[in-house]
Amino acid sequence: MNFAGAYHAPAIFVVQNNKFAISTPREKQSAAETLAQKAVAAGIPGVQVDGMDPLAVYAVTKFARERAVAGEGPTLIETMTYRYGPHTLSGDDPTRYRTKELDGEWELKDPIVRFRTFLEAKGLWNEEKENAVIDQAKEEIKVAIKEADATPKQTVTDLLKNMYETPTAPIKEQLAIYEAKESK
């Protein structure tokens, strides 16, 4: 971020602030009131946005993109959001550091529900349209699965040939070994 600021790179940095660094509250990780204000050290603007509001995130990202395209340099966007589940599947238990009340508070801000409500209020979405989209997606998935199942399995040789336009000497050796094995 510092490098991008120094060179006015057309970059957008997005921080997904879900209130925790794995299991440690953000307040214990930094004395800064926001993560967006850390942009000051890089000499770039920092913006904080409701990350649970898709339209707000779009507007801020559009602004940052316009700045970047206009040659005005990078922007840091801090999206205030929430991680409903564990940080990882390897032992993190969010019930040790988050309350049911906190989870409930954030569930009320669910971006899918909020956006659906917005679209319905504008007359742009309803249950019929939703069911049509779901049915279409299910059909597309069925077709994609059939296509994937019908695709010949890739060999190691194919993989190596697809990865290297000009194979190095060790790759050429591996190709020869696998071509011999695969021809049996």
Active-site positions?
83, 87, 97
What CA–CA distance (Å, rounded) separates 25 from 44? 26
Count CB atoms within 10 A of the CB of residue 26: 14
What CA–CA distance (Å, rounded) separates 166 from 106? 52
Residue 111 has phi, psi (to 5 degrees) of -65, -30
Q: Is 80 exposed, middle or buried (0-12, 13-18, 19+ CB in 10 A)?
A: buried
C-beta of residue 116 within 8 angstroms of C-beta of residue 55:
no
> Residue 103, Cα to own-chain centre: how many angstroms?
21
Query: What three-state secondary structure class fits 98?
Result: coil
What CA–CA distance (Å, rounded) separates 76 from 63? 11
C-beta of residue 10 within 8 angstroms of C-beta of residue 68:
yes
